[in-house]
Every structure is written in structure tokens, then in C-alpha cells.
Structure 1
Amino acid sequence: MHHLLLLPLLTCAPVEPSQQDSCAQVPVAFREHIRQVTSDTTGRFFNDYPTPLPLTCELLDLLYAEQRDDSVRYHIEHVHQRYGDARAGAAFSYIARHNHFHLAMVLATHWNPDTRIEAIRAVFEYRRIRPMVCATKEHYAQLERQDRAAVRYFIRVLEKTPRSLVGGENVVIHGVYMGDVVRVLDLFTGQTHNTTGDMRMTFDMPEGRMQQALEDWRHWLEQ
């Protein structure tokens, strides 16, 4: 965080929205709705996995404007468990057709760990193909805001989520999830942080290397 005395020297740096400011712009009812549609309302499933980190206020702020679109609002609503589609097939089809960042980020907080992994890979694909997108200067500014919000979110995921689990299949699935978070952060920031294991199936990143990666990603945000 920049010291106040340095602010006059940093007028060219991008101004980042505070979480407090973003939260104030998002209705509490909308925040609660997103929490409900992405949660296991029965409390019976996947209790051996860490609880997914909810969307940050700045991502909810971006999503709130986007959900005015009827199709987006429909797919958000149908993520809810009562519709019986734990893998959110229709939503992922929509994401693939429209390369839809916001809906993919919603699903990255889904109660089903397999769905979370698929969502992170959809966010990866969104960023991977974006160099082919032509946009106005204003649109690029919006895309940059999305990028930075995503990077901040996934950094928080790595900070708040246990790196490993004890168990059977859940260990492998969680390792895939954590490895995908590292890969998506590297893609957004143009960096490379390899683990010592097979990143496709296991997650083995020593603590020192993880801390260096987090520092590198935070430095990208400061640029």
C-alpha cells in the first residue's frame, strides 16, 4: 500500500477501487443472492473440501452491471442447486459461446469442486484468446479493470485456502484446483511459476516459492 506522502508522486498510477467503495455500490440483496446460488443449500456435499472463497466486492460490482442482461441473469439464477445441474452445463455453454468473464467468475465460487475447476479454466481461456479481441480504448480500460479484479481475487484464494488436504480423491481434485489458480494468475500477469510436481494432477509448490509468486503477482498489480 502506498504511503500518503507519496501520493503526489504517483498521479500516473492506476487508481484501484477499494473494497469498501465497491461494496457500497452493490445491493446487499444481490450479494446474498450470489452467495445462495453458488452454495450447497443442503450442506450434504463436499464437506471435505475448503469452502470456496466468495467473490470480492469489486467483482460483484462488475457482475451487478452485467446481470442486467436477461441471458446472464438467467444463467446465474439456474446455477442454483434446486435446478439439479451441479456441473452448470448450460452456463458453461453460454460462457464458451460468449467468452463470458463474469459468469465464469461466478462459477469459480461454486460449491462443486469439479465445477470450480472448469470455471477457472474458462477464465483462463477467456484471457488466453483475448489478444484477438478488437476494442475501443474505453473497452480496454474495462478489460484491464476485470483483469486486476481477477488477479486480486485469485491471490486471495491462494492466501486463504489450504494448500493441501488429507484424504483420497479429494486430495487430487484439490491439487488440480490449486494448480489451475496458479496457472491463471501467471497467464493474467505474464509470469511463470512452476511447481515441483505434475501441475496437472498434483500441487507441490514449496512455501518459499509460493511466497515469491504471491509477491510477484502483487507487484504486477502495483504497476
Structure 2
Amino acid sequence: MRPPKKAKDRSEPDLDRELTDLPPELRWREWMRRIEAVLFASAAPVAREDLGRVVGQGVSIDLLIEDLAADLEGRAFEIAQVAGGWMFRTRTAYAPAIRAAADMGDQLLDLSEFDVAVLAAIAYHQPITRDGLKDIFGKEISRDLLGRLHARDLIGIGPRAPRRGAPYTFVTTDAFLAAFGMESLRDLPDPEQLGDAGLAARA
């Protein structure tokens, strides 16, 4: 699993991180707003290390995030901890409004039930080969389907399997975690729940 994307090492000579000229309460508020700005500008989860570059040395990112989350109570979006970092996401209650107002054809909402089932199988059994997926579903999984999931960055190529021919394996990505609102694979639901919903196909 790839770690969250991190900014390139670079100095920030024009950014006053410590804000010693401000009183403590205003300093804290400014750090919160900086984190808000960074999360707002990023389409991917932002790692703790990157957020630490815009606040004072030794300042608790977790406490700043907690206070910012409290500020967002009652808003249509929230801060989510996913894939080892943080990002803004729309609250689930507003998903119908988004679908009604916007073309979501290229988003996850357009995945078929079988696509989600294949993603679930990869998530639970990774790294897994096409033959492994065939064993689970009882049929070949098309290269086209796997290519579509790969093009959306929901799956990636894992290590080669240690057997004759050394076939490629498939693994899920940080984009998969972010798309499904998970911090790590430990947040995957119980496989039996997916089976009851018809999404796991013996995953």
C-alpha cells in the first residue's frame, strides 16, 4: 500500500510557522485556517508531515484537526482521516443532492455491482492474481474491467506471484481507501456482511 503523497522537500522562507507576534488564541486559529486551506486545495489525503509544515514546531496536528472538525459541524462537508492522511469530503446525507445536480458519470457512483465485488475481492485477498479472482468468481475477470479499475487508480499492480510464470498480482490503492472513506484496510467491513449484500462473491 502506497503512503499518502508527500510534498517535495523544500524550504518555505516566506512562511512564518511560529506566529510568535500573535496572541495564543489567534495563533491557534491561524494554524487551523492554514490546515483548512491545505485540505481544501488538495484532491488527495494530506499526510501529517505535510500539515506539519504550515504550523509551529511541536504543535499537535490532531488537536488542530479536532477543533477544525468542530468548526465544521452543521456544514455539508467534513474532515475524514483516510489512507494515512486527512481530506475534506461531502457528508453522505448530501450524496443525493450531488447526484441530482452534477454529472457523476466518471465517479465511483458509476461502478457496477460486479465492479465493486471485484474490488472487494482484491481488497480482502491482495495481492491476488487473475487466476485467484477466477477461483473466487468462477469465471475469468476481463482485462478490460481490471484496466478500468486501474485507470481510476482504485487498484495497482502488486508483486509477481511466486509460481511458474510469475504472474502479476493486483492490490488496492490509497485512492481506493479515499473513495470508500477508509483510513486503512482494517476498516473493511466483515466479509459476511458483503456476502449478504451480494457484493463479496465468497470474498
Identify which of structures 1 and 2 has the higher relative contact order when contacts are C-alpha pairs closer than 8 Å and 6+ apart.
2
Q: TM-score, normalised by structure 1?
A: 0.27
- Structure 1 or 2: more helix by fraction: 1
Q: TM-score, normalised by structure 2?
A: 0.29
Larger Rg: 2
